[in-house]
C-alpha cells in the first residue's frame, strides 16, 4: 500500500494586465502583462525562491503562462499547461469596461459577483461549473504528486482561485486576490487544509530583494 505524503499547492494569480488597468472584464479573453505585471511576476518568483518546488502548472491563457515563466525564471521547475485552470467564462461581458455594463445588461454584475453557485453572465459559465473543472484539475495534480509529496506551483486567475477556496471551505466570504498574490493549500490523504489566502508578502519581499540588488 502506497502511503500518501503531504502535497502543498501555492496558487499564484497572474500579474497586472492591460485589461486590468482598463477595468475590462477578462475571463476567457486575454490581454498582455503590463510592465508592472512583469515586475510583479518576477517579484513573486523571487519571493518564493527559497521554497523547493517539484512542478508548476498554468492556465492556458497567455497572461498566466507569461507570469509563470517570469516567476520561474531560470529555476529548473517543469511547467505544464492545463486549460481547466483558466479564468471564469464571462460570456457576453468579455472585454467590456465594467462601468459600461449596467447600461447594457442591468444588474448582471451584482448577480454575477454574488456567491450563488448558479450565478453566471449571459452565455458564460456558473461558479458551480467553474469549480467542477478547477477541482478536477487540482484533484489530478494532487494525486499525481501524492506518492512523493512536496510543493507545487499553480498559476491561475483571481476568480478561479477565489472560487475554489470558497467552495472547499464553504466560506461566505470571497477574498480579493491581487495580482501575484499567493494562496497556499495543503493536502493530506486528499483532504485540503488552507494555510494562506491572497497573501501579497511573497511579491512584496521579492520586489524589495530585486530593488536592493
CB neighbour class for 145 (10 Å; exposed up to 12, middle 13-18, buried from 19): buried
DSSP classification of residue 74: T
- Say whether 177 is catalytic: no
**Residue 47 φ/ψ, nearest 5 degrees:** -65, -25
Task: Read off the pLDDT of each residue in 180-184 and give the average, rounded to a whole number.
Answer: 98
112, 115, 106: which is closest to 125 by C-alpha? Answer: 112
From the candidates 87, 94, 125, 157, give the one annotated as an active-site residue: 87
Catalytic pick among 14, 145, 157, 177: 14
Q: DSSP labels for 96-156?
A: -BGGGHHHHHTTHHHHHTSS-TT---TTS--HHHHHHHHHHHHHHHHHHHTTT-EEEEEEE
- Residues β-bridged to residue 57: 80, 154
Instruction: Report pLDDT digits (tens) over 46-101.
Output: 999 999 999 999 999 999 999 999 999 999 999 999 999 999 999 999 999 999 99
The pTM (predicted TM-score) of the whole model is 0.96
Question: What residues contact residue 72 under an 8 Å CB cut-off, 6+ apart?
Answer: 45, 56, 79, 153
Domains annotated on the chain, with CATH = 7-211 (3.40.50.1240)
Mean predicted confidence (pLDDT) in 126-144 = 97
Known binder of ligand: residue 127? no
Residue 87: active-site member: yes
Query: If you search the block for the grid coordinates 448558479, which residue do you land on?
Result: 118
Least confident span in 4-8, 18-22, 126-130, 148-152:
4-8
Amino acid at each position: 500500500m502506497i502511503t500518501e505524503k503531504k502535497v502543498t499547492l501555492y496558487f499564484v494569480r497572474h500579474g497586472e494586465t492591460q485589461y486590468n488597468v482598463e477595468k475590462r472584464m477578462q475571463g476567457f479573453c486575454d490581454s498582455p502583462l503590463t510592465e508592472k505585471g512583469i515586475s510583479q511576476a518576477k517579484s513573486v518568483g523571487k519571493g518564493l525562491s527559497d521554497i523547493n518546488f517539484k512542478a508548476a502548472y498554468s492556465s492556458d491563457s497567455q497572461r498566466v503562462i507569461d507570469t509563470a515563466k517570469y516567476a520561474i525564471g531560470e529555476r529548473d521547475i517543469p511547467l505544464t499547461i492545463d486549460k481547466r485552470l483558466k479564468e471564469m467564462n464571462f460570456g457576453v461581458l468579455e472585454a467590456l469596461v465594467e462601468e459600461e455594463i449596467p447600461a447594457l445588461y442591468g444588474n448582471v454584475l451584482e448577480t454575477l459577483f454574488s456567491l450563488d453557485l448558479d450565478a453566471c453572465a449571459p452565455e458564460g459559465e456558473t461558479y458551480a461549473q467553474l469549480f467542477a473543472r478547477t477541482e478536477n484539475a487540482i484533484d489530478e495534480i494532487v494525486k499525481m504528486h501524492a506518492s512523493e509529496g512536496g510543493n507545487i506551483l499553480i498559476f491561475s486567475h483571481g476568480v478561479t482561485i477565489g472560487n475554489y477556496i470558497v467552495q472547499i471551505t464553504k466560506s461566505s466570504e470571497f477574498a480579493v486576490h491581487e495580482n501575484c498574490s499567493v494562496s497556499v493549500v495543503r493536502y493530506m490523504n486528499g483532504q485540503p487544509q488552507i494555510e494562506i489566502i491572497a497573501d501579497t508578502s511573497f511579491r512584496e519581499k521579492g520586489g524589495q530583494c530585486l530593488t536592493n540588488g
